[in-house]
Amino acid sequence: MIVTRSWLEEYIDLSDISDETLLKRFNEIGLEVDSYKRYEIPEKVVVGEIVGCSKHPDADKLNVCQVNVGGEVVQIVCGAANVVEAKWVAVAMVGSVLPGDFKIKKAKLRGVESLGMICSSSELGLPELEDGIMILDGSIGELEAGKELNSYPKFADSVVEVELTANRGDAWSIRGVARDLSAALKKKLNSFGYEPTRRSPIGVAKELSVSSDDIPARLIYSICSIDRLKTNFLERLRLAYIGLNIENEIDRVLRYARHESGVVNRAYNFDSLAEDGKVSLDVKLNSNSSVEVLSNGRLISVVGVSQEDEFRATDNSKKVLLECSYIKPDFVVDNVSKNGLDSDDLYYFSSRGSEPDVEYGLDVLQRAICANGDVEFSSGDVKVGDKISPKKIAIKIKDLIDIIGDDIAINEVSNILKSLGYGVNAIDNDTFSLEIPPHAHDVVNIQDVAEEILRIYGIDNIKAKPSVVIEKCRLTDTYKEFKDLRDLRDRAVGVGYFEAMTYAFANKELLQRYGFEVLDESLELLNPIVKELNTLRTTILVNLLEAANRNVKYGKKSIKLFESGVVFNSKREESKRVAFIYSGEESRASVVNSATSKVVDLDSFVKSLGGVVGEFNLLECEPKNSLMHPYISADIVKDGKSIGYLSKLHPSVADEFDLKDTYIAEFDLESVLPKHINAEPLSNYQAVNKDLSVVVDKSLTFYSIAKVIQEFKESENILRDFFPLDIYSDESLGDKKSLTIRFTLQSDETTLNDEQIEGVMGRVLEVLNSNFGAELR
């Protein structure tokens, strides 16, 4: 909503209010200031009266004007075509400086002396008004040749755009904003009344009959005959200030009046509707709940929604039927949405609650039409629909104070509400009966009233008061998960990973290409924003690969990223994962490594993951998707349970993402968060390491051996730990390999003797022999 200071001043006296105060108050009362511009006219730009105008002897397009600039008449050569129609103009005198540092000097144009410039609006730094020079009229104040234009307050105006929230239909007008200001500034809101200068003695009823159903709307009609319709300078200037450039006069007038009053208005071509010189209208509540205006069975408009072009008044209409209307916003919104009706730009206002005072709206419209036009109104008007009666609610002062939380004096509350148009009646000492004015259609309960008080009283004036809290442990499982996840993320950072944050969306085609599941068709996103984000992700890894690819483009040689977040399955169920990618150099070439960079390998990737999620085992697995290398990939197993997988990135995928050697892993988040730990007692006796070298089949994985030893370990309480120490194969071993395993043995009760040690080792060998045919090397 754009307002100008001088326009507001038609409703409220702002003479002692600076622009700065005005802006501050706007923000304080909930009309957020979006932009502000003060238009100043340069000095020595004055009102000029053209007293003579003749063609330039040597130039077709130039005119030589004699201009009274107060006390003297100067000659000015002007190139604008419309100067011939002009009487009053803006003259930049010699010595004035126009915007853009344009200095006006004495000049000769094709041999004719010119002492100044007749200005267009844009040359003065104003919004564009019309082609050619600006033609002034008395609408900005009494015109006096030689008077500085800057001294006309309606001319040099301040323009403020305020942002209106969806509940503030009441402020979509100059008067609506002025009404708020009057409450905030404790100033009177001027009343408005207008009587057209020319009324024909013919009563409107002779030319118009309107019948109506019981409708949730109110309409008023008036008829005017038009000899000439022309907006005045001020109307055009203000429309330009509020950013509108409207082609024809009738629409300018309607728009100007609507902006000022907030009342939805329309104009019809009387002759297109009339039969035998008379128009009859029928305002009906349609079975689809639209309120329709019909004329002889023809639909001419839907109240608050749209109008048929065929019957619309134009600048050529000789007689115009004017309509101002109000319809209840909830009603019209439901109706339009339910029936999918086409609506025009007035619907925006009727749906947010336009000004219900249609009589006032008609007054404003009539004044706008009469401002500069030659028109005659028929006597009287025709109204249909009931006046919107104020809603009544009773509120307890204590409840109101409790919502706000600060003591505001009762009479202060009462004054604020009265100044906003509320009827306030005390029922008893602590209860008010309120009549809510019809324009405040959004106000239905005590909290809405509290908002009105708070806005006008000023939040700045409310004393902040910390809550008193009853202590309670509020550390939820969600919080515990956040803390655990934070620890995990800190560990990832500690081993060199950067935390990425990518969209929960994915490119469906990519997911499918790499063999990931996708959402079932019936559960899919209906309105994705771009093709690259056209579904929900079912893995974090593809997002991380895309991020890695971007980093390659940024020139990064070592890329180490992780992300924790939500992924979805085909049923669109959510689960949380954490994914890692390690690509390119593990360390860059430098003095430290004799200028040879080291590229990441499985060992360093696995070690880095261990630094984040702790100890785990790897189990050879079938590739689950085509990101995985068929031979360098594994299930990640912890306590016998798979918690995720890792892989070298398939070289052809690496090529697609322009990556060097790359490793990826994705874990189920919950299974890598820390678990409760029960400590085991420590032994006071020395531990012994014993190495066992056995010959087994080459294809035998360590994991299968480990599983067997693990099981065996349960029955041997002095066998504490084991890990693969060395692996060896040569021709003499054929399709066998030699595997050395180191065992750690310890007892809680005694220092181990040779017999105990050899006993365990013997039994290990037996187990390995019976399971895998392992022979001592």
Nearer to other proteins, 553 or 676 (CB): 553
The pattern of x and - marking residues 31 through 70 that bind other proteins according to CB under 8 A reads: -xx-------------------------------------
Q: For residue 112, give the 3-state DSSP assignment.
A: strand
Residue from 70, 79, 141, 528 in contact with other proteins (CB under 8 A): 528
Residue 557 beta carbon to other proteins: minimum distance, rounded to whole angstroms: 10
State the number of binding residues for other proteins (CB under 8 A): 99
Compare residues 522 and 699 and give the one whose CB is closer to other proteins. 522
Is 409 near other proteins (CB under 8 A)? no
Secondary structure of 201-270 as H, E, C letters: EEEHHHCEEEEECCCCEEEEEEEEEEEECCCCHHHHHHHHHCCCCCCCHHHHHHHHHHHHHCCEEEEEEH
Binding to other proteins (CB under 8 A) within 464-483 occurs at 464-467, 469-472, 474-476, 478-479, 482
- Shortest gap between Cβ of 9 and other proteins (angstroms)? 24
Q: Which of 57, 138, 203, 405 forms a contact with other proteins (CB under 8 A)? A: 405
Tell me how crowded residue 530 is: count the other CB atoms within 10 A of its CB: 8
Rounded Cα distance between 538 and 516, Å, is 7
Q: Which is nearer to other proteins, 23 or 97 (CB)?
A: 23
In whole angstroms, the minimum distance from the beta carbon of 544 to other proteins comes to 7
Provide the sign of the torsion angle of the four alpha carbons 310, 311, 315, 316, taken in this order: positive
Subset of residues 130 to 189 that bind other proteins, contact rule: CB under 8 A: 165-168
Site for other proteins in 14-33 (CB under 8 A): 27-30, 32-33
51, 81, 427, 529: residue in contact with other proteins (rule CB under 8 A)? 529
Confirm or reject binding of residue 511 to other proteins (CB under 8 A): no
Distance CA(94)–CA(112), nearest Å, equals 16
Crossing angle, helix 477-494 and helix 602-613, to 10 degrees? 150
Which position among 527, 678, 699, 715 is part of the footprint of other proteins (CB under 8 A)? Answer: 527
Q: How far apart are CA 769 and CA 777, in angstroms?
A: 12
Q: How far apart are CA 552 and CA 549, in angstroms?
A: 5
Which of 493, 687, 727, 776 binds other proteins (CB under 8 A)? It is 493
Which of 358, 256, 224 has its CA nearest to residue 303?
358
Contacts of other proteins in 569-608 (CB under 8 A): 572, 574, 587-588, 590-592
Footprint (CB under 8 A) of other proteins, residues 296-335? 333-334
Count of Cβ atoms closer than 10 Å to residue 497 Cβ: 22
User: Cβ of residue 576: shortest distance to other proteins, in angstroms?
Assistant: 10
Contacting other proteins within 266-285 (CB under 8 A):
none
Q: Are strands 558-568 and 498-499 parallel, antiparallel or unpaired?
A: parallel
Q: How many CB atoms lie within 10 A of CB 632?
A: 15
Name the token pair of 611: 């630094």
Question: Considering only residues 536-575, where is the footprint of other proteins by CB under 8 A?
Answer: 543-544, 547-548, 550-551, 554, 556, 559-563, 565-566, 568, 572, 574
Of the pair 556, 624, the CB lying nearest other proteins is at 556
- Per-residue buried b or exposed e for 636-653, using 16+ beta carbons within 10 Å of the residue's own CB: bbbeeebbbbbbbbbeeb
Using CB under 8 A, which of 502, 617, 693, 738 touches other proteins? 502
Q: How far is the CB of 217 from other proteins (least distance, A)?
A: 18
Q: Which residue in the set 18, 211, 447, 596 belongs to the binding site for other proteins (CB under 8 A)?
A: 447
Which listed range, 40-48, 191-199, 290-298, 528-536, lies at the site for other proteins (CB under 8 A)?
528-536
Name which of residues 426 to 445 contact other proteins (CB under 8 A): 445
* Residue number with CB closer to other proteins (171 or 283): 171
Nearer to other proteins, 479 or 728 (CB): 479
Instruction: Give me the least distance between CB of 404 and other proteins, in Å please.
Output: 5
Over 375-429, what HEC string results? EEEEECCEEECCCCCCEEEEEEHHHHHHHHCCCCCHHHHHHHHHHCCCEEEEEEC
Amino acid (one-letter) located at 18: S
DSSP string, 262-301: --EEEEEEHHHH-BTTBEEEEEEE-TTS-EEEEETTEEEE
Q: Is 499 in the site for other proteins (CB under 8 A)?
A: yes
Using the contact rule CB under 8 A, the part of the chain among 45-53, 456-464, 743-751, 759-767 near other proteins is 456-464
Shortest gap between Cβ of 554 and other proteins (angstroms)?
Answer: 6
Cβ within 8 Å of residue 16, ≥6 positions away: none
Instruction: Report the site for other proteins in 695-754 (rule: CB under 8 A).
Output: none
Joined together, the tokens standing for residue 194 give 């207008």
12 CB-near residues (< 8 Å, 6+ apart): 178, 181, 182, 185, 187, 188, 189, 190
CA gap 415, 412 in Å, rounded: 5
